[in-house]
Amino acid sequence: MAAEQVNTTGLPQKQVTDYYLSDAMLRFRTVTDKEGQQYKLTQKFPANAAGEAAITTIYLSKQEFELLNIFEAVTVRKTRYVLQYGRLVIGLDHYLTPTDELWLAEVEFASAEEMSSFELPLPHISEVTGQPEYDGYTLARRFQQV
């Protein structure tokens, strides 16, 4: 969901850097928070337009990450704020460049029924699930860092 800016004061946050491989469904990711740094290799297949996806993530050591992350990639950095909402965790991703800004809310659900009955408890503009201009690679190209 595209969200308007919300008050993130006091919310846990992570710095995320994604490396999207061109013409592939693979992404390398580093996540930095107060606990340290994680390294991941992820493959995501959209299952349908309703927002379902099959995701496989392999956690890597720093050495494995550096060894494997040698391909040409589109790189994007974002800040992810974490909001606990009942049993759900809402990730608020903030993309920012000197000329562009976007807030996205991402929520993972246990079932399609849970997803269809969910109402975002934050001010928002629109639902963007399934819209190609909001997939990770497209956003990375929009907000890429060199």
pLDDT digits (tens, 9 = 90+) for 111-132: 878 888 888 888 888 888 888 8
Rg from Cα positions in the chain:
15
For residue 4, what pLDDT band results from cuts at 50, 70 and 90? low
**What DSSP string runs through 48-114?**
-TTS-EEEEEEEE-HHHHHHH--S-EEEEEEEEEEEEETTEEEEEEEEEETTEEEEEEEE--SSHHH
CB within 8 Å of 111: residues ≥ 6 apart: none
Q: Which two tokens stand for residue 73?
A: 């990639």
Question: What architecture is the 2-143 domain classified under in CATH?
Answer: Beta Barrel (2.40)
Q: What is the pTM of this model?
A: 0.86
